[in-house]
Amino acid sequence: MQDDLDKFKKEKEKLSDRMHQLGEEIRQLHSKKNELILQITRKDISLADAENKISIKSEEMQALQSKMKEEIQVYQIRAEELEQDISLALEELSEMESLQSRAENLEQDVSLAREELSEMQSLRRKLELKNAELFTKNIDLDLEKRDLEDTLIKKKDELVQMSDNLATA
């Protein structure tokens, strides 16, 4: 019995040591558990902060995307307006080129008309000179005609005088 009692005491001591060890392990496990819970809580708080930041960033991105879509639409409308302006400008340029060609043709026509006018003025001067010559000749012929008429009248008078002289003789 003494052996049993000694054995029991040893086992009790072993069990006591083991319980002490288990208590220490439980205390360490509780401590680790508390640390892990604290870490999990911190991680949960960090996760909540990150999710909150992600939510805010997501809203900001949606707002930016909406703003960018509006700006893209504005730029597309502006691009269409610019394309229309370019088209009108090209039409006006084509019209201007046509008008420039027409102006060049008109300038050539004006140049030809000036040449013809110059030629006509030259012919007019020649005609005026010819008229002046003919007028002068006409005056000369009128004077000669008068001289001839005067001479004819004198000759007629002389003939009448001679006829009278003959009749009297």
pLDDT digits (tens, 9 = 90+) for 105-128: 999 999 999 999 999 999 999 999
pLDDT digits (tens, 9 = 90+) for 87-96: 999 999 999 9
Only one residue has tokens 């060049």, namely 104
Which pTM value belongs to this model? 0.41
Q: What is the pLDDT of residue 6?
A: 84
State percent of the chain over pLDDT 90: 79
Is the confidence at residue 17, as pLDDT, over 90?
A: no
* CA-based torsion, 33, 35, 37, 43: positive or negative: negative
Q: What is the mean pLDDT of residues 16-39?
A: 92
Q: What would the two tokens of residue 161 be?
A: 């005088």
The DSSP element (H or E) to which 61 belongs, if any, is helix 2-168
Q: What is the rounded (10 degree) CA torsion for 8, 14, 18, 21?
A: 140
Count how many Cα atoms sit within 13 Å of the Cα of residue 15 in the half-sphere of its side chain: 6
Rounded CA-CA distance 76/70 in Å is 10
Q: What is the pLDDT of residue 1?
A: 76
What is the CA angle 35-36-40, rounded to 5?
120
Buried b or exposed e, range 41-54, using 16+ CB within 10 angstroms: eeeeeeeeeeeeee
Round the average pLDDT of the chain to a whole number and report it: 92
